[in-house]
């Protein structure tokens, strides 16, 4: 009875709310209805319901499905293109990170928060990773970091797909990367077992080495291996992809924490301004590379935008853009942020705090 009260009933209610949000957004023809609808519905429900429950296992299952779909788009030709795009990936990653560092200094100055909170709250490195990181820095405020990261996710996931759909899609739309449904016809039970075994192997290895987002990247690497071996790959049907988006969107809504009593008006205003400026900066960066080198502006914008890899990949799939191109940019930036920029920032902030104590 206790299990029903604490887990089963709250989950059933959350599922109904999430699906209702997806159906509503779908009827309103809002971009990414099965991701954004559940996210906003569950986020809103948290304000009125005593308990909203969404199992992490469902979110992980959604990421696995998305990872398999992403992996199927990485053909040999795409992987070769990634190598050619490395200089562009490096430059855009450095530019976006540099802009967030500048924004962090402005937040620190005008919103009356510590530089540690501003820097960690501004980095597009993932909500959970940045909140955990804030716990390691003495003068970083976990509540402020959570608010800033949550607002950035909401703002970016809402604004970037809208901008891409209404202002950036051109004749390039429809040239999505990957093999598509044709490859699915040749996909056999043997290939399914092979893909499953590889996905489990990469997922297990990813968790062991603390790979970021292992439930997404592990299955994606499995799909890439099948493509590299020129074996038939899996193309998931649309209902499965929609269900995976519901699982991810509802989890995002459940995870987000916003309390209006904790933050000043100046912090909210500067956070809105800095996120809008970052999206505008990414927009201009994408347009510049479109003009100079002919890159499809919608794809390069999704690639450099400060959203999560899952959300931007789903956007690319919905708009029939080159998913592998978009994903490769985000993969590169994730590794740069988590393994280079973040450790370096932590080291500098700790050194700064120690220096302030000794002064």
pLDDT in tens, 69-81: 888 877 777 777 7
**Closest Cα to residue 178, out of 305, 304, 77, 67?**
77
Q: Which residue has the higher pLDDT, 256 or 40?
A: 40
CA 326 to chain centre: 12
Q: Which two tokens stand for residue 161?
A: 């797909």
Interval 174-178 mean pLDDT: 47
Interval 252-280 mean pLDDT: 80
Interval 13-39 mean pLDDT: 92
> What integer pLDDT is reported at residue 181 of this predicted model?
41
Q: Print the SS3 string covering 205-250.
A: HHHHCCCCCHHHHHHHHHHHHHHHCCCCCCCCCHHHHHHHHHHHHH
User: In the structure, what pLDDT confidence band is assigned to residue 171 with cuts at 50, 70 and 90?
Assistant: very low
Write down the mean pLDDT value for the chain: 82
> What integer pLDDT is reported at residue 99 of this predicted model?
93
User: In the structure, what pLDDT confidence band is assigned to residue 156 with cuts at 50, 70 and 90?
Assistant: confident
Q: Which residue has the higher pLDDT, 75 or 123?
A: 123
> What integer pLDDT is reported at residue 80 of this predicted model?
78
Is residue 27 within 8 Å of residue 213, measured between CB atoms? Answer: no
Residue 179 has pLDDT above 50, yes or no: no
Of the listed ranges 131-135, 158-162, 183-187, 319-323, the least confidently predicted one is 183-187
Is the pTM value of this prediction over 0.75?
A: no
Give the span between the Cα atoms of 181 and 279, in whole angstroms: 34
Give the span between the Cα atoms of 304 and 90, in whole angstroms: 11
> What integer pLDDT is reported at residue 129 of this predicted model?
67
> What integer pLDDT is reported at residue 306 of this predicted model?
86
> What integer pLDDT is reported at residue 132 of this predicted model?
65
Q: Which two tokens stand for residue 64?
A: 């696995």
Residue 281 has pLDDT above 90, yes or no: yes
Give percent above pLDDT 90 in the chain. 21
Interval 97-119 mean pLDDT: 88
> What integer pLDDT is reported at residue 25 of this predicted model?
93
Give the span between the Cα atoms of 239 and 260, in whole angstroms: 37
For residue range 308-354, what is the model confidence (pLDDT) as tens digits? 777 888 888 888 888 888 888 888 887 788 778 877 877 887 787 77
- Rg for the chain, CA atoms, rounded: 20
């Amino acid at each position: 009875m206790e299990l029903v009260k604490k887990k089963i009933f709250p989950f059933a209610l959350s599922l109904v709310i999430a699906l209702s949000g997806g159906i509503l957004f779908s009827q309103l023809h809002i971009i990414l209805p099965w991701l954004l609808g559940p996210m906003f519905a569950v986020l809103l429900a948290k304000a009125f319901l005593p308990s909203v429950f969404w199992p992490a296992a469902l979110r992980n299952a959604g990421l696995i499905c998305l990872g398999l779909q992403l992996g199927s788009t990485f053909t040999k030709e795409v992987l070769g293109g990634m190598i050619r795009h490395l200089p562009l990936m490096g430059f855009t990653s450095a530019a976006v990170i540099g802009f967030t560092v500048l924004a962090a200094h402005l937040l620190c100055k005008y919103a009356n928060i510590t530089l540690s909170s501003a820097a960690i709250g501004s980095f597009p490195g993932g909500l959970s990773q940045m909140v955990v990181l804030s716990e390691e820095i003495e003068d970083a405020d976990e509540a402020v970091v959570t608010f800033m990261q949550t607002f950035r996710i909401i703002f970016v996931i809402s604004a970037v797909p809208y901008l891409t759909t209404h202002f950036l899609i051109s004749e390039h739309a429809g040239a999505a990367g990957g093999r598509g449904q044709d490859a699915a016809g040749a996909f056999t039970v043997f290939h399914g077992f092979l893909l499953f075994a590889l996905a489990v192997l990469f997922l297990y290895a990813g968790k062991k080495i603390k790979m970021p987002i292992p439930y997404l990247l592990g299955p994606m690497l499995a799909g890439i291996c099948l493509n590299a071996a020129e074996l038939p790959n899996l193309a998931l049907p649309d209902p499965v992809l929609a269900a995976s988006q519901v699982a991810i969107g509802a989890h995002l809504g459940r995870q987000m924490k916003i309390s209006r009593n904790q933050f000043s008006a100046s912090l909210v205003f500067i956070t809105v301004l800095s996120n809008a400026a970052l999206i505008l900066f990414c927009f201009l960066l994408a347009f510049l590379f479109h003009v100079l080198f002919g890159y499809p502006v919608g794809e390069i914008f999704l690639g450099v935008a400060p959203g999560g890899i899952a959300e931007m990949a789903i956007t690319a799939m919905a708009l029939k853009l080159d998913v592998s191109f978009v994903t490769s940019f985000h993969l590169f930036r994730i590794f740069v942020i988590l393994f280079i920029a973040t450790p370096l920032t932590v080291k500098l902030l700790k050194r700064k705090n120690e220096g302030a104590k000794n002064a």
